[in-house]
Chains A and B, each alone.
Chain A
Amino acid sequence: MIEAIPDLVHHYNHWVSIFLMVCGLYIVVARGNMVKKLVGLTVFQTAVFLLYISAGKILGGTPPIIAEGYEHYANPLPHVLILTAIVVGVATLAVGLGLVVRINEAFGTIEEEEIFERGEQE
């Protein structure tokens, strides 16, 4: 138990991010409601962002804006990647929500199981 404490401190960010990732995965697999599935996808995505940003942090560093008197900066590269990923993520989310609206108009429901039943009846 005592030996596990440095592990906990060193990997706390990673473990929380993995927990969030697993939450997102569970929502996507287990829940049939499509809006809920999209929220789950967003949670999953954000967990990956957290993993990247954690990798870029240096303890005792500052944000990567060059200024007099500072030596250690956080790594800017993960920040750039994640900025792009956030924007692309919201674009895909918009397309997904558009599809949900269309499905709701065509089937009258956004529950996966009801749509499957409708498909079997026809």
Chain B
Amino acid sequence: MVLLTLLAVVAIGIVRLRNLFAVVILGAVYSFLIATVFLVLDAPDVAMTEAAVGAGIATVMMLAVLHLTKTDESRPRQPQIFPLFVSAVTGAALIYGTLDLPPFGEADTPVHTHVGPYYLSQSIPDTGVPNVVASVLASYRGWDTLGEVVVIFTAAIGVLLLLRRAQRPTRQATRSRRDAP
């Protein structure tokens, strides 16, 4: 509960700060905090992935982009009433929705009585892997993991194409194109 409150405080910091460098570092803090929360919620695999990917790779990529661009955010020109209104309405609607959710951490909710127990009881006989998350990820739902790898591959190709075009003397090209007409 303390961790979750801390998480909310860090999120407010991310909203308020205008120095993008600080925002990115707070983002890394946020990732580590939520990884700790995942660990407390009995999800060690997810916690490890979040700490490595969310706090590690994402932060490094963000810092690289900040190095290529600038690190300060300009002030918004018009007052921010409309976004605040949209966010408040969305939040209120979602909180109204949670009142019908089953209480936290009980074993007889629909989440725990559907397909989860099957995996838990059949993992050892079917695959011989004691870590059920690993066996579901790599064996029962192996095709999904293949799809995930395809997504990463596509993303890598996309980034390569975007940055490859950037290496050409595009700045002069665009400038001359803008000056031409």
Contacts and interface: CB of A to CB of B under 8 A. Distances in A.
Given A21-B90, A100-B69, 9 more contacts: A18-B98, A23-B12, A35-B62, A46-B50, A56-B111, A57-B41, A64-B132, A79-B45, A101-B65
Interface residues on B, range: 35 or more
Interface string A3-40: 00001011111111011111111110111110110111
A66 B120 contact: yes
Contact of B137 (A43, A80, A113): A80
A59 interface: yes
Interface in B108-154: 109, 111-112, 115-116, 119-120, 123-124, 130-133, 136-137, 141, 144-145, 148, 151-152, 154
B74 interface: yes
Nearest to A91: B155
B91 A19 contact: yes
Contacts of A84: 137, 144-145, 148
B151 A102 contact: no
Interface string A77-90: 11110111011101
A30 B133 CA distance: 38
Interface in B1-46: 1, 4-5, 7-8, 11-12, 14-15, 20, 23-24, 27, 30-31, 34, 37-38, 41-46
A90 B58 contact: yes
Contact of B70 (A46, A82, A83, A110): A110
Interface of B: 1, 4-5, 7-8, 11-12, 14-15, 20, 23-24, 27, 30-31, 34, 37-38, 41-46, 49-50, 53-54, 57-58, 61-62, 64-66, 68-70, 73-74, 76-77, 80, 82-84, 86-88, 90-91, 94-95, 98-99, 101, 103-107, 109, 111-112, 115-116, 119-120, 123-124, 130-133, 136-137, 141, 144-145, 148, 151-152, 154-156, 158-159, 162-163, 165-166, 170-171, 174, 178
A63 B54 contact: no
Interface residues of A, number: 83
A39 B43 contact: no
Given A83-B45, A97-B65, A49 B23 contact: no
B86 A49 contact: no
